[in-house]
A and B are shown apart, each in its own frame.
Chain A
Amino acid sequence: MKVAAMRYALLLMLGAAAVMPASGQGSTPVFPVTLGKTLAARASHYTEISMDKNMLAFAGKFMSGGSGDDADAKKLIDKLDGIYVREYDFEKPGQYSAEDLEQIRQQFVGSQWSPMVKERSKTADGNSDIYVKLVNGQMQGLFVLDAEPTELDFVYIPGRVDPDELQKLGGSFGLPKNLGGAQGAASLHERAK
């Protein structure tokens, strides 16, 4: 009787462990699901890319490690915990509000996130924000918000983002060669120290 009870308890524990969500997996996107769906519904065209650490590792297997963009990409994504991109194009301005953007910015109000760049336009040219997650002096996350009247872009990259490597990628993937200029990646690196 005791043996049967122990076996039943062990089975219960194993079953509970199987259904418990795995911890420590890649970070989840920070975009509110409802807002994402709202923006997608209003956009004339949108692009949503969500790749967690496992997907990036899978993609890295099919990148040639010789030279060129594939080698640079593989070197970069090996250190990332994910990459999430949202790009929304609207036919006319006014498809999102300042409150919508503030709702997203509020998610980065915390001890580990630091606003690195805050660009506000007094005209309708748009706003931009760059937030960096610092853990023990190292950059462990990057969030970029670029808002224009008819376009809204978000980039969220959890994981070890090295601004020096980002700078070295100048010329690849359309990155300007002087990305590490006075207000570019070098500035981010200095602020992160």
Chain B
Amino acid sequence: MHEENEDFGALERALGDSLGVRSAPEGFADRVMARLPRKPERAATPWWWSIAAAVLLMVCGGAYWQHAQQERIAGEHARAQALLALRLTAAVLNDVQQKVVVPGKGETE
């Protein structure tokens, strides 16, 4: 029995020695990273691309805004013309009605 306990204690010591925390040897991390496959490096975006994209966006936005403004101006002009036409029509009909309702020396059929 006593010999079995001594054997078990020796086993524990051997396990503790083999499974203990040990620091990695010097250069271990570098060697592991060196073995990893290299990823292709992305080409750096030229700095002026951002400026060009911003300028293009501003030009397109400005052109759309200008088109919308021109269409709005043309639409307001058309609206004014239509209202003027209706007012002139009303005035002419009114004149004719006055002549017909209040006949003067003329003849009306």
Contact = CB atoms under 8 A, between A and B. Distances in A.
Given A155-B88, A174-B91, A119 B78 contact: no
Contacts of B86: 73, 76-77, 83, 173
B83 A69 contact: yes
Interface string A45-66: 0010101000110111111000
Contact of B85 (A51, A63, A175): A51
Given A49-B81, A155-B92, A182 B99 contact: no
Nearest to A122: B105
A182 B100 CA distance: 10
Interface in A117-160: 117-123, 125-128, 130, 144, 146, 153, 155, 157
A17 to B, nearest CB: 29
A83 B105 contact: no
Contacts of B99: 119, 121, 125-126, 128
Interface string B79-109: 1011111111111111111011101111111
Q: Looking at chain A's contact residues, is the secondary structure mostly helix, strand, loop, or mixed?
A: mixed
A181 interface: yes
A117 B78 contact: no
A87 interface: yes
A146 B92 contact: yes
B62 interface: no
Interface residues of A, number: 48
B108 A51 contact: no
A70 B105 CA distance: 39
Q: Looking at chain B's contact residues, is the secondary structure mostly helix, strand, loop, or mixed?
A: helix
Interface string A152-193: 010101000000000001001111100101111000000000
B106 A62 contact: no
Interface of B: 72, 74-76, 78-79, 81-97, 99-101, 103-109
Interface of A: 47, 49, 51, 55-56, 58-63, 69-70, 73, 76-77, 83, 85, 87, 115, 117-123, 125-128, 130, 144, 146, 153, 155, 157, 169, 172-176, 179, 181-184
Given A85-B85, A119-B96, A125-B99, 5 more contacts: A58-B74, A60-B82, A122-B106, A123-B105, A128-B95
